[in-house]
Amino acid sequence: MAWFENPAQEPLRVPTAALWAVCPKCNTYVAKAEWADACKVCPKCDHHARLNCRERVQLLTDIGTFEEINAAVSVNDPLKFKDASGSYAAKSQAAIQKTGMGEAVLTGTCAIEGSDVVLCVMDFAFMGGSLGSGTGERILLAAEKAVTLHRPLIIVSASGGARMHEGIVSLMQMAKTCAAIAKVKEAGLPYFSVLTDPTTGGVSASYAMVGDLNIAEPKALIGFAGRRVIEQTIKQKLPDDFQTAEYTMAHGFIDHIVPRKEMKAFLAKILRYAGF
């Protein structure tokens, strides 16, 4: 089983699980109501645990305004891929069952404090948020929708990168999505990229890094190559803060780090600066 096929991190299965959530970072027990109220941000260590995309949509959008688009676009299996642990067809079906999503990104129209936008939200629980052809197609269509409706585009990324099971077709989604983003910018429309934990590989090397503004959640893992690959290449241990949002901002690639609870208000504010 690959890293991105791990089941979603769940609180420890202890008898108190009905009442308590456990911070996946520091293992602190937090009352479930408090955990939900904090939008899964640990009150002790400030770890921003991963959200699924329904939770993210709820967090960022005005109540009742989100309308999904491109729901009919789903997973393709161009290579008829099979590896040691089974077929991609079976794994993607399992991901669909588990998450209730058709692909690793949810796209739709919505309002953020009254500003109309097109929003894409990735979900790490769907095969590690990997960029498959269905993912790329949904993002391209969402970007085209932004141009048609003359609205800003916002993409919230959470992804390990390209989806190996779709081979070269997955790689091409990087070019495809960036072409669509270029059209949004050409139309004079804002494009904001929100990078959450993790945003790496082929997603960081395509649409996630080319926002008018790149905005990150605190301590999110952001980078191109994996830590182990780099350590093997340079034959040195990397510092703990390597490839964090803070590290990436210090090197000039992130505009602002925004805590989860403040993200909606922040987006609303920059939308107004951008004239929306």
Partner 1 sequence: MAKKTQKKLTAWEIVQLARHAERPNITAYIEAMCDDFIELHGDRLFGDDRSLIGGFATIGNERVVLIGHRKGSSVEENIEANFGMASPEGYRKAMRLMKLAEKYSLPVVSLVDTPGAYPGSEAEANGQAEAIAHNLEFMARLKTPVVVVVCGEGGSGGALGIAVGDRILMLENAVYSVISPEGCASILWRDGSQAPLAAETLKITAEHLLELGVIDSIISEPAGGAHKKPAAAIASVKKAILKELAELGKLTLDDLIEQRYQKFAAMGRF
Dig out the tokens for 161 from the structure. 């990168």
Q: Is 188 near partner 1 (CB under 8 A)?
A: no
Interface residue with partner 1, options 38, 59, 225, 274 (CB under 8 A): 225
According to the binding rule CB under 8 A, does residue 174 interact with partner 1?
A: yes
Of 111 and 230, which CB lies nearer to partner 1 in the complex structure?
Answer: 230
Contact 202, 171 (CB under 8 A): yes
The dihedral built from the CA positions of residue 182, 184, 187 and 193, taken in this order, carries a sign that is: negative
The answer to whether residue 269 forms part of the interface with partner 1 (CB under 8 A) is no
Residues 149-168 that bind partner 1 (CB under 8 A): 162, 164, 166-168
**Burial of residue 116 (number of CB atoms within 10 Å: 0-12, 13-18, 19+):** middle
- In the region spanning residues 128 to 147, those forming contacts with partner 1, defined by CB under 8 A, are 132-134, 136-137, 140
The least CB distance from residue 242 to partner 1, in Å, is 7
Q: Which residues contact 127 (CB under 8 A, 6 or more apart)?
A: 4, 5, 91, 92, 95, 104, 163
Rounded CA gap, 135 and 104, in Å?
Answer: 6
**Applying CB under 8 A, does 266 fall inside the site for partner 1?**
no
To partner 1, the closest distance from the beta carbon of 265 in angstroms equals 27
Q: Which of residues 191-210 bind partner 1 (CB under 8 A)?
A: 201-202, 204-210
> Does position 104 bind partner 1 by CB under 8 A?
no
Interface residue with partner 1 among 238, 261, 265, 272 (CB under 8 A) is 238
Only one of the segments 96-104, 111-119, 223-231, 265-273 lies at the binding site for partner 1 (rule: CB under 8 A); that segment is 223-231
Helix orientation angle between 53-60 and 263-273, rounded to the nearest 10 degrees: 60
Which residues contact partner 1 (rule: CB under 8 A)? 2-3, 76, 78-79, 81-85, 132-134, 136-137, 140, 162, 164, 166-176, 178-183, 185-186, 201-202, 204-210, 222-226, 229-230, 233-234, 236, 238, 242-243, 251-253
